[in-house]
Structure 1
Amino acid sequence: MASGEERYQEFAPPPALRPFVRTIWTYAAPDPSRTIQRIAPDGCPELVFDLGAPYAEQGEDGVFRLQPPALFAGQMTRPLVMHPTGPTELVAVRFEPDGARDFLGFPLSAATDRRLDMVERLAGFAPPPGDPAGQVAAFVAWLEDQRRRTVWWIDPVVRAEITAAETEAPAPTPASARAASAQRALQRRFADRVGVSPRLLRSIFRFRRVFDHAAHPGEDVEGWLEAGLQAGYFDQPQMARDFRRFLGCTATDWARDQHALARAIASQARVAS
């Protein structure tokens, strides 16, 4: 990697981890922009290991504090606002929306909109700097060891709801057709295994189908509106409200101002979609 050049790569997990892990990604920026980055919700929790200088994350009080070098990021219902503090190098596991419950060991609702310190749990984990493939191999080996220690499983009812939401298909059983007790039971299963409600997860997926266009700021207003209508929005004001809710700014502002990791993730997501 040339001096100052950014690198973002995604790697598919091995078959044994595929029910739980969506992708493993690496990112490096020897000289990152110190501008504030807004990371939008995507419906997937992540486990992140930092080999470089830590990021500083903005808290609810507006103060920026350093993140731990190893963290678990639960489901997000609002943007993550942060900035790099020096040369950056990350390797991370992006779980399926319902794939991290048994890794974490407690309900995902306890991690929603939180970054949990994983330094103690990842003690001794040392992926090789500057070697994306080696970093991924190290994380795969570590995860496989974690999986062998406990029973990891997928709730088929929850997974079916997630698949329908992500593919814009109707829910397997519409809420209107469920008994109240069945609806409450599904809500509890989602709180446990996903961390957000089925309805909110659908909203996040719908938002992402439009948000990923923000990686390409040359698109005009008509293009944005068409993308929003195709994603399921009724009109532009409704879409704008979700951008404020999940990103904290307008689509135009994000497209103009974002750099580095935030744009790299959005660009890769659009290519893969």
Structure 2
Amino acid sequence: MAGEGERYQEFEPPAALKPFVRVIWTYADPDPAPVVQRIAPDGCPELIFDLGAPYEELGDDGDWRLQPSAIFTGQMTRPLALRPAGPTELVAIRFEPDGARDWLGQPLVEATDRRLDVVQRLAGFSAPVGDPEGQVEAFTRWLTDQRRQSEWRIDPLIRAEVEAAAGDAAPSRRSPADQRALQRRFTDRVGVSPRMLRSVFRFRRVFDHAAHPGQPAAESWLGAGLEAGYFDQPQMARDFRRFLGCTATEWAREQQALARAIASQSYKPGADHPA
């Protein structure tokens, strides 16, 4: 859970945005510890606006770089390493896995494992500092205006595949040609393959089943992994390395601030998130 001085809150989107947006969340920490935060994939692209000091991100070349104050983060297939550069405060839109394609205006696969600078897209946008409800109201109003300016849609076939993956239902049987066509549509509107999305959802279910989200004992990790759908501990351990870059025990011991606050919340796809 958030520590002293921190706050993390989730808000349900209005009905007009619900087909596209899973949740709107805010986070603030006036005195963050200067430590690295490991953020794992969760199957959802996000639009994030910083009202405080933006985070620094570790690049593939090993250098730390300050993120833009407004970013679109596409689907992730590997861990993201961040560290605070000062007092943090942000408001974010967590889209449905297939909900951001029309807002972005380009195939989601082009944003996979990338953080896109969208400062110009949010030019003129502002939100009140220290007021989570006001921040959510401002971001909701802005996104609703964005939707009015262009036609957003949900592909029924892709949404059905996303929901099947979220519910861990068996994939539908298709001919090779139909499966290839689905793959193309899926990567366009979601950004990853159906198989990758299922892997991400399974990994996030580990946190749902953990006895103490964020810092379970070793035996709780194993039990949570089995409940999430893993066959055994080595299989789950591989995904911890794949999606977080560390072991479950290392993550539980080291992570705090934003990473732990997010992990303390529900990752259940399609779950309700009351304010």
How would you bin the TM-score normalised by the shorter chain?
over 0.9
Task: Map 1:189-228 onto structure 2 (within 5 A).
Answer: 189-212=185-208, 213=210, 215-221=213-219, 223-228=220-225
In the other structure, the counterpart of 1:250 is 247
Q: CA offsets per residue over residues 188-245 of structure 1, 9 Å max, x none?
A: 0111000000000000000111145373424342x22222122111111111000000
TM superposition score normalised by structure 2: 0.93
Q: CA offsets per residue over residues 52-98 of structure 1, 9 Å max, x none?
A: 01100000011100000000000000011010000000000000000
Preserved contact between residue 38 and residue 259 of structure 2 (Cα < 8 Å): yes
Where 2:163 maps in the other structure, the secondary structure is helix
In the other structure, the counterpart of 2:175 is 179
Q: CA offsets per residue over residues 126-161 of structure 1, 9 Å max, x none?
A: 101111001000001100110011110101111111
Preserved contact between residue 202 and residue 229 of structure 2 (Cα < 8 Å): yes
Where 2:146 maps in the other structure, the secondary structure is helix
Where 1:268 maps in the other structure, the secondary structure is coil
Matched length: 266
Task: Please identify which structure carries the higher helix content.
Answer: 1
Preserved contact between residue 215 and residue 255 of structure 1 (Cα < 8 Å): no
Segments of 5+ residues of structure 2 without an aligned counterpart are: none
When residues 196 and 67 of structure 1 are mapped into structure 2, their CA distance, relative to the original with a 3 A threshold, is: same
Q: Residue 110 in 1 paired to residue 107 in 2?
A: no
Shift in Å at residue 270 of structure 1? 5.6
CA RMSD between the two structures: 1.6
Preserved contact between residue 211 and residue 251 of structure 1 (Cα < 8 Å): no
In the other structure, the counterpart of 1:60 is 60
Shift in Å at residue 261 of structure 1? 0.3
Task: Map 1:136-147 onto structure 2 (within 5 A).
Answer: 136-147=136-147
Q: Which amino acid aligns with 2:190?
A: V
Question: Distance in 2 between the 1:31 and 1:229 partners?
Answer: 37
TM superposition score normalised by structure 1: 0.94
Segments of 5+ residues of structure 1 without an aligned counterpart are: none
Q: Residue 233 in 1 paired to residue 230 in 2?
A: yes
Q: Which has the higher contact order (CA 8 A, sep 6+)?
A: 2
Preserved contact between residue 221 and residue 248 of structure 2 (Cα < 8 Å): no
Shift in Å at residue 250 of structure 1? 0.4
Q: Which amino acid aligns with 1:237?
A: P
In the other structure, the counterpart of 1:135 is 135
Preserved contact between residue 44 and residue 96 of structure 2 (Cα < 8 Å): yes
Partner residue of 1:267 out of 257, 264, 267: 264
